[in-house]
């Protein structure tokens, strides 16, 4: 009896330990599954502090930049870091977000028009005092652009210039402003006070290059035989003046002699108080091509996370880094000045959108520092919007803001979550956008998805500057490739 009882107890204990072990195994597997799901949720979700998306009233300078002497500080023209502000560092005025987006819409219209029609080849600039330019040529210099400060002349005069990868000609307003100059923050450049200034003559082969760079045939001064350029922008702003040479000071130790630029004598428009523009396009008279021997056709930038922080614009091979992933430039035959991209896919929350890569190749794609909001083919945008809205369903919606139709009222949240968005490019390159590259914040009550649809699938896809924030973007023009790297500004 005792033996039977002992056997029964042993068997019972064995069964107990078996089920206990089995229960622990199931519990472990369930916990591991929860951990995996939690990790996946974290991997494909951004946990965002609302305050991180809002600009400060004071300037915060970046502590990081490429180790190169040819590096300039980049600031947003509406933030406290801009030199286009009052001396106390406060912005002189705040451009309504709807105005910024409406101006952005005009720039996009121009880009598509320029790519589809090869604009401006039948236009010409005659005498400086009688030149009128058609509104069909040029591009809009909108309110969402960024500035750098460079020196011009001998002795040098510091000037705040918009930098634009979609433009070629560098120009600035010049005294004596023979016809008109708009108001700018810097002192207007006076070529008569520079010992290194000279005009390009009408008979020079350089003068003829203006046709493809500006979309207008050059004019000629009857009295001085000086070459006259003219460029008109999408909002009817324009600059007309002398095509010239001058010493350009990039940094204190980096100087470019005989730099070709436009010395504007008749200027009008909304340029945000800037002195002009520095063109970083692909045309022979762009900054990139003129400095090819010095910087090897390489430049990079990082656009700051908000308007109250700074980024950088750098030139030369030192701008490259090991953490970068490169994709080849695609060919945009209709607009040689633009930098083309080959987008292969977009993923939201880790799930690839059901959109064929041919959707993006129909109209082609470019990257543009001057366009604020990324424009997608209607088919792709509809899929992205649907997936993003699904991931944001627990948050209260807000009204539309101009071209932005997916907005939320997050005023009741200090911390919130958004699904990740990733772009895939040719060559297996994937760029995961930071929260600042996904959202456009008008106020805490109106936080919007920073994407918009094109009018038609045949329109060019434009990778805008919001999506480039905090990312190191390297243009290796000579190598035919563009690189992306996270955390470029800090």
Question: Pick from 146, 144, 142: which is nearest to 83 by CA?
Answer: 146
Question: Pick from 175, 174, 222, 173: which is nearest to 202 by CA?
Answer: 222
Residues noted as catalytic:
164, 368
Q: Which residue in this structure is represented by tokens 């009857």?
A: 222
Show the CA angle centred on residue 476, arms to residues 473 and 480, nearest 5°: 120
**Backbone φ and ψ of 479, nearest 5°:** -85, -5
**pLDDT value for 235:** 63
**Pairing mode, strands 198-199 and 238-251:** antiparallel
d(C-alpha 216, C-alpha 234), whole Å:
14
d(C-alpha 196, C-alpha 110), whole Å:
36
Contact 424, 346 (CB under 8 A): yes
Q: Which residues contact 145 (CB under 8 A, 6 or more apart)?
A: 77, 162, 163, 164, 272, 369, 370, 465
Contact 306, 465 (CB under 8 A): no
d(C-alpha 298, C-alpha 416), whole Å:
39
Burial class (CB in 10 A: 0-12, 13-18, 19+), 257: exposed
Helix (H, G, I), strand (E, B) or coil at 208: helix
Task: Compute how many other C-beta atoms are within 10 angstroms of the C-beta atom of residue 124.
Answer: 15
Question: Pick from 101, 2, 85, 63: which is nearest to 304 by CA?
Answer: 63
Which tokens belong to 465?
Answer: 């500057």
Which tokens belong to 466?
Answer: 């919001």
**pLDDT value for 70:** 87
**pLDDT value for 115:** 79
Structural domains of the chain in order of their starting residue, each with its CATH number: 64-313 (2.40.70.10), 321-485 (2.40.70.10)
**pLDDT value for 135:** 24
**pLDDT value for 475:** 96
Question: Pick from 483, 467, 62: which is nearest to 300 by CA?
Answer: 483
**pLDDT value for 268:** 87
**pLDDT value for 26:** 47
d(C-alpha 427, C-alpha 244), whole Å:
41
Show the CA angle centred on residue 371, arms to residues 416 and 214, nearest 5°: 170
User: Phi/psi zone of residue 30: left (φ > 0), alpha (ψ -120 to 50 degrees), beta?
Assistant: alpha
d(C-alpha 237, C-alpha 271), whole Å:
8
Which tokens belong to 56?
Answer: 């400060």
d(C-alpha 20, C-alpha 25), whole Å:
9
**Pairing mode, strands 238-251 and 157-164:** unpaired
**Backbone φ and ψ of 288, nearest 5°:** -60, -45
**pLDDT value for 144:** 52
Contact 145, 311 (CB under 8 A): no
Quick one: DSSP state of residue 226?
B
User: What distance, in Å, lies between the first and last C-alpha atoms of the chain?
Assistant: 79
Q: What is the dihedral of CA 310, 434, 423, 427, to 10 degrees?
A: 70
Question: Pick from 173, 180, 167, 185: which is nearest to 77 by CA?
Answer: 185
**pLDDT value for 122:** 43
Q: How many CA atoms lie within 13 A of 403 on its CB side?
A: 25
Q: Which residues contact 224 (CB under 8 A, 6 or more apart)?
A: 199
The full DSSP string for 413-469 is: -SEEEEE-EEEEETTTEEEEPPGGGTEEEEETTEEEESEEE-SSTTSPEEE-SGGGB
Question: Pick from 246, 252, 242, 338: which is nearest to 288 by CA?
Answer: 338
Helix (H, G, I), strand (E, B) or coil at 113: helix
Q: What is the pLDDT along the chain (490 residues), one digit of tens a residue?
A: 555 545 544 455 454 444 455 455 544 454 444 444 445 557 899 999 999 998 877 787 765 555 555 899 998 866 778 766 543 344 444 567 888 898 888 888 878 877 775 544 445 565 444 433 332 223 444 445 788 999 999 999 999 999 999 899 999 999 999 999 998 989 999 999 999 999 999 999 999 999 989 888 999 999 999 999 999 876 668 899 999 999 999 999 899 999 999 999 999 876 778 899 999 999 999 999 999 999 999 999 999 988 878 899 999 986 556 689 999 999 876 557 899 999 999 999 999 999 999 999 988 999 999 899 999 999 999 999 999 999 999 999 999 999 999 999 999 999 999 999 999 999 999 999 999 999 999 999 999 999 999 999 889 999 999 999 999 999 999 999 999 999 888 6
Whether the bond between 161 and the residue before it is cis, its omega within 30 degrees of 0, is: no
**pLDDT value for 59:** 84
């Amino acid at each position: 009896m005792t033996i039977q009882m002992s056997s029964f107890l042993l068997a019972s204990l064995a069964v107990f330990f078996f089920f206990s072990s089995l229960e622990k195994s199931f519990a472990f597997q369930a916990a591991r599954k929860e951990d995996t799901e939690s990790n996946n949720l974290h991997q494909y979700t951004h946990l965002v502090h609302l305050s991180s998306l809002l600009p400060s009233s004071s300037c915060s300078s970046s502590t990081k930049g490429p180790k190169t002497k040819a590096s300039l500080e980049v600031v947003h023209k509406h933030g406290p870091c801009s030199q286009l502000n009052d001396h106390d560092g406060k912005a002189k005025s705040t451009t309504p977000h709807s105005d910024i987006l409406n101006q952005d819409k005009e720039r996009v219209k121009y880009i598509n028009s320029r790519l589809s029609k090869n604009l401006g080849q039948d236009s010409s600039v005659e005498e400086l005092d009688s030149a009128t330019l058609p509104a069909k040529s040029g591009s809009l210099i909108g309110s969402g652009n960024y500035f750098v400060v460079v020196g011009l002349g001998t002795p040098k005069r510091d000037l705040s210039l918009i930098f634009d990868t979609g433009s070629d000609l560098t120009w600035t307003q010049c005294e004596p402003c023979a016809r008109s100059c708009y108001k700018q923050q810097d002192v207007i450049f006076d070529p008569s006070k520079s010992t290194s200034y000279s005009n390009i003559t009408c008979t020079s082969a350089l003068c003829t290059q203006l046709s493809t760079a500006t979309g207008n045939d050059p004019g000629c001064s009857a009295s001085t035989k000086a070459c006259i350029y003219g460029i008109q922008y999408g909002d009817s702003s324009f600059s007309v003046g002398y095509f010239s040479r001058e010493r350009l000071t990039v940094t204190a130790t980096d100087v470019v002699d005989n730099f070709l630029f436009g010395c504007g004598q008749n200027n009008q428009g909304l340029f945000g108080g800037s002195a002009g523009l520095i063109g970083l396009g692909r045309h022979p008279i762009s900054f990139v091509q003129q400095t090819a021997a010095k910087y090897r056709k390489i430049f990079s930038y990082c656009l700051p996370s908000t308007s109250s922080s700074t980024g950088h614009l750098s030139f030369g091979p030192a701008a490259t880094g090991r953490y970068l992933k490169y994709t080849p430039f695609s060919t945009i035959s209709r607009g040689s000045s633009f930098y083309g991209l080959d987008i292969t896919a977009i993923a939201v929350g880790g799930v690839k959108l059901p959109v064929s890569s041919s959707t993006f190749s129909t109209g082609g794609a470019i990257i543009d520092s001057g366009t604020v909001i990324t424009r997608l083919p209607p088919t792709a945008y509809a899929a992205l919007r649907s997936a993003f809205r699904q991931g944001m369903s627990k948050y209260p919606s807000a009204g539309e803001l101009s071209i932005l139709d997916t907005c939320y009222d997050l005023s009741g949240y200090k911390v919130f979550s958004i699904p990740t968005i990733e772009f895939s490019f040719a060559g297996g390159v994937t760029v995961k956008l930071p929260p600042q590259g996904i959202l456009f914040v008008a106020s805490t009550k109106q936080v919007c998805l920073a994407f918009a649809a094109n009018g038609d699938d045949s329109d060019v896809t434009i990778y805008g500057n919001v999506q480039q924030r905090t990312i190191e973007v390297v243009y290796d023009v000579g190598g035919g490739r563009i690189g992306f790297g996270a955390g470029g500004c800090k």
